[in-house]
C-alpha cells in the first residue's frame, strides 16, 4: 500500500493511476490530512503543486513521521519542499521550465535509474528551481536547463525528482516509479482485479452479514459492476431497482432489464415514465429540468425502497475520482451542472452507505467487471447521463420529442456500431434542437426539426475533443435519419470541444 500526499497538483490522480498500473494499491490524501496510522503504508509519494515553496500560503506539512522512516519519493513541488527546508536552496528559475526535456546526465550505478537510457525524455512543469541540494543530497540526474533534476539523500531512502514521472511524455516515468516502489521500497505488486474481487467479497460479507441492501441500477458500468460484486457477496439480500424515467435510449429499459435478470441479479424494473413527464411538464431551463429529475428519482426510489422491509444499507457505484474530488486540497469545483445522481437520499431513510468501488478508477472498474464475467459489450458502453435524453432535448420535454430523439439516436448509435466506430468514440449521442427549418421532400415543402449529432474523444469527460467521423459515415447516417425519422428534415454535426463547450448541450 502506497500513500500519495496531494499538494493540489493537476497530475496527482495520474500518479495514482501509474502506480496502480504496476498492480500496486495506493491512496491519495490531501497534504493537510495525513493519516494518523502509517503502519500499513510501505512508501510515500509527495505530489507536485501549483504553489511555490517560498510562498507564505504554500503547503508546509510535517513529514517527521515519514521522512527517513520509510521510502519517500518527492515529485516536483515535493522535491523543492525537501530542498527548501533541509539546507538547500529554491529560487525562481530564469526560464520557465515547462514541457519536454532530456536527461543529459544520469549518475551511473543507481537503482533508481536502472534501465533508464541516457537522454531519456522527461516532462517538466515548474517555475521554481532547486539551486542547491539539501544536506546530504546526492545529484542523480540533470537536464540541459535543470542541474538538479533528481537527487537522493545520503543514508535515507529518500528520492526527489523535479520532473513528472506520471505524465506520459516522461518516457521512462513508469520505469522510474517501478524502480522506486518495487526495487527500492519492495512494495508487493498484488493489486489485481482478481485479488480485488476476492478481498471485496470477503470484506462485504463481513460488513453486511445478513443485512438487506438496496441499490439503484442505471444500466451504466459502475452500478452494474457494483451490483454484480455485491451479488457475489450477499446474493439474495441484494435488492436492485432499475427506474425507467422515460428518458432512456430506445428499447433500453427492457433490454437492460432482461440483461440484468440474465446475470442472476434480483432486480425490479419500475416504469415511472409518467411521473417524470409530469414533473418535467413545461420546464425549459436546464437546471430546473435537472433538479426536477433528481427530485423525482429520489421520490420514486424512496417509494420503492419503502416497499422492502428491514433494509439497512444503500449501495452506490461511486468511484475513486468522485471520492478524491470531494476531499481534494482545492475542494469540490464550481457547479457547472447539477448531476442528479450524486445527491444521495433524504436523511430520514437512515440507510448506511456501502460503496464497493470507491477505491477504483474507471478503467479498473471495467477490468473488475471483466473478471466478474460481465458481458464486454455492457462494460464497453458509452457513458450516459443520469437525466438521460432530457438534457439532449433543448427546451421543454414532451413524449413526442423523446420518441423522435430516441429514433435519431438509435440510427446514429447503430451506425457507429456497424461501421466499427463505436469503440473508437468515448461518447456519442444526438440532440434535438428547439428549431424548425424549411426543407423539401418530393415536391412538398417541409418545416421540421433539426437534430445535432455529437461524438467526442475523452479519457474522463473533464476535457473532450470532437471526433473526426468519416464524411462517408456522416452522409449515410444523415440520409437515414431524415428518411426514417418523421419530423426531422435537417442534421448537423457538433464540432465544438470541451472546454469551452461541454459534452452535453444542457
Ligand atoms: P458535460 O456536459 O458536463 O458532461 O461536459 C461530462 C460528462 O458527464 C455526463 N453527465 C452526467 N452524468 N449525471 C450523470 O450521471 C448527470 O447529471 C450528468 N450530466 C452530464 C455527460 O454525459 C458526460 O459524459
For the Cβ of 503 lying below 6 angstroms from any atom of ligand 1, the answer is yes
pLDDT at 232: 97
76 is an active site residue = yes
The C-alpha R_g of the chain, in whole angstroms, comes to 26
User: Which H, E and C letters describe 57-93, residue by residue?
Assistant: CCCCCCCCCCECCECEEEECHHHHHHHHHCCCEEEEE
C-alpha distances (whole Å) from 171 to each of 102, 118, 165 are 10, 12, 8
Q: Are residues 304 and 428 in the same domain?
A: no
Domain count, the chain: 3
Q: Read off the pLDDT of residues 451-491 as tens digits, 9 standing for 90 and up.
A: 999 999 998 788 899 999 999 999 999 999 999 999 999 99
368 occurs within a structural domain: yes
Task: State the cell numbers at 52.
Answer: 511555490
Which range, of 94-108, 215-229, 238-252, 285-299, averages the lowest pLDDT? 94-108
Specify the DSSP element, H or E, that contains 444: strand 444-457
**Residues 31 and 7: beta-carbon distance below 8 Å:** yes
User: Domain limits at 427?
Assistant: 399-493
Tell me how far apart the alpha carbons of residues 451 and 409 are, in angstroms, rounded to a whole number.
Answer: 10
166 is an active site residue = yes
pLDDT at 39: 96
Q: Are residues 177 and 197 in the same domain?
A: no
CATH number of 467's domain: 3.30.300.10
Q: Read off the pLDDT of residues 311-335 as tens digits, 9 standing for 90 and up.
A: 999 999 999 988 877 766 765 555 6
Nearest CA to ligand 1 atom 4: 503
329 occurs within a structural domain: yes
407 is an active site residue = no
391 occurs within a structural domain: no
Would you tell me how many other CB atoms lie within 10 Å of the CB of residue 162? 31
Q: How confident is the model at residue 342 (pLDDT cuts 50, 70, 90)?
A: very low
Q: Which atom of ligand 1 is nearest to the CA of 336?
A: 3
Question: If you measure from the C-alpha of residue 287 to the centroid of ligand 1, how many angstroms do you get, rounded to a whole number?
Answer: 13
Residue 145 neighbours by CB under 8 Å, 6+ apart: 93, 95, 97, 101
Residue 332 neighbours by CB under 8 Å, 6+ apart: 325, 326
Q: Which residues pair with 130 in a beta bridge?
A: 90
For the Cβ of 317 lying below 6 angstroms from any atom of ligand 1, the answer is no
CATH number of 45's domain: 3.40.50.880
**Residues 194 and 183: beta-carbon distance below 8 Å:** no
Question: If you measure from the C-alpha of residue 123 to the centroid of ligand 1, how many angstroms do you get, rounded to a whole number?
Answer: 31
**Residues 38 and 3: beta-carbon distance below 8 Å:** yes
For the Cβ of 386 lying below 6 angstroms from any atom of ligand 1, the answer is yes
Amino acid at each position: 500500500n502506497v500513500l500519495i500526499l496531494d499538494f493540489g497538483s493537476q497530475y496527482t490522480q495520474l500518479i495514482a493511476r501509474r502506480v496502480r498500473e504496476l498492480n500496486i494499491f495506493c491512496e491519495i490524501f490531501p497534504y493537510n490530512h495525513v493519516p494518523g496510522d502509517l503502519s500499513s503504508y510501505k512508501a510515500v509519494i509527495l505530489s507536485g503543486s501549483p504553489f511555490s515553496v517560498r510562498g507564505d500560503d504554500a503547503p508546509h506539512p510535517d513529514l517527521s513521521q515519514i521522512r527517513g522512516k520509510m521510502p519517500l519519493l518527492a515529485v516536483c513541488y515535493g522535491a523543492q519542499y525537501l530542498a527548501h527546508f533541509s539546507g538547500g536552496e529554491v529560487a525562481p528559475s530564469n526560464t520557465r521550465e515547462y514541457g519536454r526535456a532530456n536527461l543529459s546526465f544520469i549518475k551511473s550505478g543507481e537503482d533508481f535509474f536502472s534501465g533508464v537510457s541516457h537522454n531519456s525524455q522527461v516532462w517538466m512543469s515548474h517555475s521554481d528551481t532547486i539551486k542547491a541540494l539539501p544536506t546530504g543530497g546526492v545529484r542523480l540526474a540533470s537536464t540541459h536547463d535543470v542541474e538538479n533534476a533528481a537527487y537522493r539523500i545520503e543514508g535515507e531512502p529518500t528520492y526527489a525528482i523535479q520532473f513528472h514521472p506520471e505524465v506520459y511524455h516522461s518516457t521512462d516515468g513508469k520505469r522510474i516509479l517501478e524502480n522506486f516502489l518495487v526495487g527500492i521500497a519492495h512494495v508487493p505488486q498484488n493489486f489485481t482485479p482478481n485479488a480485488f474481487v476476492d478481498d471485496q467479497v470477503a470484506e462485504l460479507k463481513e460488513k453486511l452479514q445478513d443485512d438487506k441492501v438496496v441499490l439503484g441500477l442505471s444500466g451504466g458500468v459502475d452500478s452494474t459492476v457494483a451490483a454484480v460484486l455485491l451479488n457475489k457477496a450477499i446474493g439474495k439480500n441484494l435488492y436492485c431497482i432499475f427506474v425507467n424515467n422515460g428518458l432512456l435510449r430506445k428499447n433500453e429499459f427492457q433490454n437492460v432489464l432482461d440483461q440484468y435478470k440474465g446475470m442472476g441479479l434480483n432486480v425490479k424494473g419500475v416504469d415511472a415514465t409518467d411521473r417524470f413527464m409530469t414533473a418535467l411538464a413545461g420546464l425549459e431551463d436546464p437546471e430546473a429540468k435537472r433538479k426536477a429529475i433528481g427530485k423525482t428519482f429520489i421520490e420514486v426510489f424512496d417509494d420503492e425502497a419503502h416497499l422492502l422491509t428491514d433494509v439497512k444499507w444503500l449501495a452506490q457505484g461511486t468511484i475513486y475520482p468522485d471520492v478524491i474530488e470531494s476531499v481534494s486540497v482545492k475542494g469540490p469545483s464550481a457547479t457547472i451542472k447539477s448531476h442528479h445522481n450524486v445527491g444521495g437520499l433524504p436523511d430520514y431513510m437512515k440507510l448506511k452507505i456501502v460503496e464497493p468501488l470507491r477505491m477504483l478508477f474507471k478503467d479498473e472498474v471495467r477490468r473488475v467487471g471483466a473478471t466478474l464475467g460481465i458481458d464486454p459489450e455492457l462494460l464497453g458502453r458509452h457513458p450516459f447521463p443520469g437525466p438521460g435524453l432530457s438534457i439532449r432535448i433543448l427546451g421543454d420535454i414532451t413524449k413526442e420529442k423523446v420518441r423522435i430523439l430516441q429514433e435519431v439516436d438509435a440510427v446514429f448509435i447503430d451506425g457507429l456500431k456497424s461501421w466499427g466506430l463505436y469503440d473508437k468514440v468515448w461518447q456519442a449521442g444526438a440532440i434535438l434542437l428547439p428549431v424548425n427549418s424549411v426543407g423539401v421532400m418530393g415536391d412538398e415543402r417541409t418545416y421540421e426539426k433539426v437534430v445535432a449529432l455529437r461524438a467526442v474523444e475523452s479519457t474522463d469527460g473533464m476535457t473532450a475533443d470532437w471526433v473526426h467521423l468519416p464524411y462517408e459515415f456522416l452522409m449515410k447516417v444523415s440520409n437515414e435519419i431524415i428518411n426514417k425519422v418523421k419530423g426531422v428534415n435537417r442534421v448537423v454535426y457538433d464540432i465544438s470541444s470541451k472546454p469551452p463547450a461541454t459534452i452535453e448541450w444542457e
